[in-house]
């Protein structure tokens, strides 16, 4: 996206520049210093909250390359060479910039508000629309005075539809949100009845909320709630197009019929303007069906084809993405809401807890609520009442502040000053057969609690540390020039890590390109909502239609494939489709050989169907210093190829040849882009590099049983191990079908238990293996690390006589992936 020159940004603010710096284009607004990436093009806005002051991070961010800062406080000294822009109120400055950015878009923009269901409606509407329009939505539940501007800033040049969620907690806030969002389409999701103290305050809140819709052109709401209907009447522009729906009201534009099905879902038929549509919802809880109806009716009003809507409704997931719903210890249900513990999002989560599973007793584990802007006595007093009204049976409060205010909660609540204190006390059995909502502010790291509870059911897990991925990404970013682009290789299920979660953070982190091996892998990424350009390394001609449909970009490596693709483009009357050319320079795998380069250029020059987005080649031995001459030869040959192509084609394109080891060893050949693969996962062929990288994947399991053997007794198939002394053997529920190589048996490989190594003895079975724990402490139920920080993937690869790539990509799909962020 082209950015705004910093001078233009400054001119939008009532600002004094107290220290001028260099000119650059602003692409990213940053308010959370932990999320810096990449520094180029970032403007940091120092916000202040009761427990947080962004001004503290300015020096550090300047060190890391941020060039400009918006502040509201004076600092004793400012870092040299950066622009410091002073305003009266940084939060308002952020809002003004969002409003300024918003003005550039003449597209349908949906504003969603209400007391419940906002996030779910937003996510579902997104699912229904994303194949029809390039859609940008608020991330997570960014619906506040800070979240909304950050969401709006995500609108990009090519965005065709925006979906923005708006939540308020104080009077006056909605007007400010409205000024920024300027929605053209409004959705009022639901008005809660139980939550407000008295009618007059509820009414006031409703009147406040509908202010979002003062200038919409289209409005979607449930006609069966008269309060909403009346309140909207007062604010909606006269010519607004109304799309209200109802099961009972004869006047509603869309009439709804609904019938429960034996499988737990329901059939829904909609009739409007002489048309109809029928679909099956995979759930029947009234609140969720209501949310789905809002999304469906909005999609219809937007002109999304109804067959597509009906099809997609079948697959709506009843869990919004920001929350994870899992089975945990002993029949419990765990809802982990990872983000923020602001009050509004706590309400969404509780709402969700209540709607989903009202059979199980409801427990809430809650941390201190940070940055609520409220007096703690008021805040926790309100929360306590609120939890009681929601029928929460027990609260476990964690954190110094909630601990200090425990008198405000019922006596059967429990309090701990820290997550560690709670974990020490925790026995997963205490939490059996409950519906548990885990809601913690980030510093409390509640994922550790989740993990402990999940461990009780998942014996073997591959844990993926997303924070470590970000660290490694920053490391490689810093090794290349700011102008060099970064493509991340996501083939083979992201080297075993799982694709969607990783791609999602890479997109948010500003990576330029993704690459996958096959078309279907790219389709999966698109379905998951990834918008980044995606190159397909090995596109099969049979898949060209789907490839084009999902805007995936093929790597063309021979005239056979090039001609086939050209015919497809011809057939579909497409022009200037981006393609990538693979050049043969010594790998002898895929690619155009030297004698074909001139013809290739000539052939493409005449074609208006394709546009060469990039030209690439792959190094055969970038990790081997002994092959340095060969590698340099490949680089020279590639250089020759790109010159010839540039000359014959008459335009330029991105050139790239380096993989992870190449980035480390041949920085001079980084050209326009590099292709990062295994390095992102913290694995390096270069010894010197390892200390700079963090371990991303850890494969762990849990001891099933421990046996005491007498000398002479044997272990496993073929009696391959015979005890020579009294021996303790632990059985682990992981075998070669999970990705534990069979060649690691018979004492070759080891696992780590409590930080100590234990050899794998006897033969590795399909689903199990045995380890000798005679010399270390180990009990049934203890964790064993197969690989991670103690036993590195590189070590296992060496012992199994293979390479780390094979170890990572062999962790079977039946092993549960767990994603953590610090």
Ligand X SMILES: *Cc1c(COP(=O)(O)O)cnc(C)c1O
Q: Which is nearer to ligand X, 283 or 787 (CB)?
A: 787
The region of 16-24, 464-472, 656-664, 696-704 touching ligand X under the rule CB under 6 A is 656-664
The region of 204-212, 329-337, 655-663, 718-726 touching ligand X under the rule CB under 6 A is 655-663
Angular region, 239: left φ>0, alpha ψ -120 to 50, beta rest: alpha
Question: CA 412, 415, 419 angle in degrees (round to 5)?
Answer: 140
Q: Are the C-beta atoms of residues 68 and 45 closer than 8 Å to each other?
A: no
Q: Rounding to the nearest 10 degrees, give the CA dihedral for residues 463, 466, 470, 471.
A: -40
Active site residue 717: yes
Q: How far is the CB of 436 from ligand X (least distance, A)?
A: 39
Q: How far is the CB of 723 from ligand X (least distance, A)?
A: 42
The region of 503-511, 605-613, 658-666, 743-751 touching ligand X under the rule CB under 6 A is 658-666
Within residues 471-510, the interface with ligand X by CB under 6 A covers 489, 491
Q: Which is nearer to ligand X, 489 or 773 (CB)?
A: 489
Q: Rounding to the nearest 10 degrees, give the CA dihedral for residues 137, 142, 147, 149.
A: 10
**Distance between CA atoms of 640 and 635, rounded to whole angstroms?**
9
Q: Which is nearer to ligand X, 345 or 519 (CB)?
A: 519
Catalytic residue among 156, 233, 707, 717: 717
Which residue among 660, 684, 695, 701 contacts ligand X (CB under 6 A)? 660
Q: How far is the CB of 679 from ligand X (least distance, A)?
A: 6
Question: CA 498, 499, 500 angle in degrees (round to 5)?
Answer: 115
Q: Are the C-beta atoms of residues 219 and 240 closer than 8 Å to each other?
A: yes
Q: Which is nearer to ligand X, 190 or 491 (CB)?
A: 491
Q: Which is nearer to ligand X, 405 or 618 (CB)?
A: 618
Closest residue to ligand X: CB criterion: 677
Of 553, 558, 669, the C-alpha closest to 619 is: 669
Catalytic residue among 326, 491, 568, 702: 491
Phi, psi of 86 (to 5 degrees): -105, 135
Q: 99: burial class by Cβ within 10 Å (0-12, 13-18, 19+)?
A: middle
Q: Are the C-beta atoms of residues 269 and 276 closer than 8 Å to each other?
A: yes
143 three-class SS: coil
Which residue among 190, 618, 698, 700 contacts ligand X (CB under 6 A)? 618
Residue indicated by tokens 């919409």: 216
Q: Which is nearer to ligand X, 183 or 662 (CB)?
A: 662
Tell me how many residues contact ligand X (CB under 6 A). Answer: 12
Within residues 520-549, the interface with ligand X by CB under 6 A covers 537
Structure token pair of residue 818: 């767990």
Site string for ligand X, 670-689 (x = CB under 6 A): -----xxxxx----------
Q: How far is the CB of 554 from ligand X (least distance, A)?
A: 13
Q: How far is the CB of 102 from ligand X (least distance, A)?
A: 39
**Distance between CA atoms of 295 and 318, rounded to whole angstroms?**
13
Q: Which is nearer to ligand X, 66 or 658 (CB)?
A: 658
**Distance between CA atoms of 8 and 498, rounded to whole angstroms?**
41
Beta carbons within 10 angstroms of residue 379's beta carbon? 19
Position 439 contacts ligand X (CB under 6 A): no
Q: Are the C-beta atoms of residues 71 and 46 closer than 8 Å to each other?
A: yes
Compute CA 469 distance to the chain's CA centroid, rounded to the nearest angstrom: 12
Active site residue 491: yes
Q: Which is nearer to ligand X, 662 or 716 (CB)?
A: 662
Q: How far is the CB of 517 from ligand X (least distance, A)?
A: 7
Q: How far is the CB of 537 from ligand X (least distance, A)?
A: 6
The total number of residues shown for the chain amounts to 822
Which residue among 659, 695, 701, 727 contacts ligand X (CB under 6 A)? 659
Q: How far is the CB of 692 from ligand X (least distance, A)?
A: 15
Q: Give me the residues that bind ligand X (CB under 6 A), please.
A: 489, 491, 537, 618, 659-661, 675-679
| Positions marked catalytic | 491, 717
């Amino acid at each position: 996206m082209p950015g705004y020159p910093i001078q233009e940004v400054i001119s939008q603010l009532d600002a004094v520049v107290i220290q001028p710096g260099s000119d650059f284009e602003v692409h990213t607004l940053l308010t959370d210093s932990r999320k810096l990436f990449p520094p180029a093009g970032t403007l940091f806005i120092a916000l202040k909250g009761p427990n947080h002051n962004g001004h503290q991070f300015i020096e550090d961010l300047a060190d890391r390359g941020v060039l400009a800062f918006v502040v509201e406080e004076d600092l004793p000294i400012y870092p040299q060479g950066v622009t410091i822009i002073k305003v009266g109120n940084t939060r308002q400055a952020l809002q003004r910039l969002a409003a300024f950015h918003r003005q550039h878009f003449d597209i349908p923009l949906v504003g969603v508000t209400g007391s419940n269901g906002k996030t779910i409606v937003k996510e579902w509407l997104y699912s229904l629309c994303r194949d029809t329009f390039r859609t940008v939505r608020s991330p997570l539940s960014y619906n506040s005075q800070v979240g909304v501007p950050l969401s709006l800033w995500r609108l990009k040049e090519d965005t065709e539809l925006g979906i923005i969620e708006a939540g308020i907690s104080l009077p006056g806030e909605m007007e400010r949100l409205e000024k920024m969002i300027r929605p053209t389409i409004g959705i009022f999701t639901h008005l809660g009845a139980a939550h407000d103290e008295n009618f007059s305050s509820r009414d006031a809140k409703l009147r406040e909320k509908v202010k979002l819709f003062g200038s919409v052109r289209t409005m979607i709401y449930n006609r069966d709630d008269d309060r909403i209907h009346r309140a909207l009447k007062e604010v909606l522009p006269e010519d607004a197009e109304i799309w209200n729906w109802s099961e009972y009201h004869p006047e509603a534009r869309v009439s709804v019929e609904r019938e429960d099905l034996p499988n737990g879902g329901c059939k829904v038929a909609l009739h409007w303007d002489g048309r109809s549509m029928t679909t099956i919802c995979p759930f029947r809880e009234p609140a969720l069906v209501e949310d789905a109806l809002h999304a469906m009716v909005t999609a219809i009003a937007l002109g999304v084809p109804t067959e597509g809507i009906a099809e997609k409704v079948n697959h709506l997931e009843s869990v919004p993405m920001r929350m994870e719903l899992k089975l945990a210890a002993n029949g419990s249900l765990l809802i982990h809401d990872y983000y923020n513990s602001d009050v509004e999002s706590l309400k969404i989560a509780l709402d969700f807890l209540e709607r989903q599973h009202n059979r199980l007793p409801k427990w809430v584990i809650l941390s201190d609520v940070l940055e609520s802007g409220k007096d703690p006595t008021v805040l926790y007093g309100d929360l306590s009442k609120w939890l009681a009204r929601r029928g929460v049976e027990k609260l476990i409060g964690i954190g110094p502040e909630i601990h200090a205010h425990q008198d405000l909660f019922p006596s059967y609540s429990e309090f701990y000053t820290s997550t560690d204190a709670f974990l020490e006390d925790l026995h997963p059995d205490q939490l059996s057969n409950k519906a548990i909502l885990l809601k913690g502010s980030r510093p409390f790291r509640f994922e550790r609690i989740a993990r402990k509870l999940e461990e009780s059911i998942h014996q073997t897990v591959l844990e993926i540390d997303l924070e470590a991925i970000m660290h490694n990404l920053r490391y490689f970013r810093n090794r290349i020039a700011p102008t060099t682009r970064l493509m991340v290789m996501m083939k083979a299920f992201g080297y075993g890590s799982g694709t969607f979660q990783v791609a999602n953070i890479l997109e948010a982190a500003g990576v330029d390109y993704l690459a996958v091996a096959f078309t279907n892998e790219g389709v999966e990424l698109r379905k998951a909502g990834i918008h980044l350009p995606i190159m397909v390394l090995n596109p099969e001609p049979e898949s060209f239609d789907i490839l084009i449909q999902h805007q995936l970009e093929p790597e063309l490596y021979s005239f056979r494939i090039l001609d086939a693709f050209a015919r497809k483009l011809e057939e579909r009357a497409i022009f200037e489709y981006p393609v990538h050319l693979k050049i043969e320079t010594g790998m002898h795998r895929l690619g155009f050989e030297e004698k074909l380069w001139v013809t290739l250029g000539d052939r493409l020059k005449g074609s208006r169907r394709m546009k060469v987005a990039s030209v690439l080649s792959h190094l055969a031995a970038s990790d081997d210093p002994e092959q340095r001459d060969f590698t340099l030869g490949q680089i020279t040959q590639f250089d020759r190829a790109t010159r010839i192509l540039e000359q014959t084609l008459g335009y330029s394109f991105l050139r790239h040849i380096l993989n992870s080891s190449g980035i480390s060893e041949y920085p001079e050949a980084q050209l326009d882009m590099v292709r990062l693969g295994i390095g992102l996962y913290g694995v390096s062929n270069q010894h010197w590099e390892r200390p700079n990288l963090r371990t991303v994947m850890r494969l762990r399991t849990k001891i099933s049983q421990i046996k005491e053997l007498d000398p002479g007794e044997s272990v496993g198939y073929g009696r391959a191990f015979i005890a020579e002394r009294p021996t303790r053997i632990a059985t682990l529920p992981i075998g070669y079908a999970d990705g534990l190589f069979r060649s690691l048996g018979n004492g070759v490989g080891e696992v780590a238990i409590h930080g100590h190594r234990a050899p794998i003895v006897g033969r590795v079975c399909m689903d199990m293996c045995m380890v000798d724990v005679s010399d270390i402490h180990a009990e049934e139920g203890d964790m064993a690390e197969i690989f991670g920080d103690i036993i590195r993937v590189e070590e296992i690869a060496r012992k199994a006589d293979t390479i780390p790539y094979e170890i990572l990509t062999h962790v079977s799909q039946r092993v549960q992936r767990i994603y953590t962020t610090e």
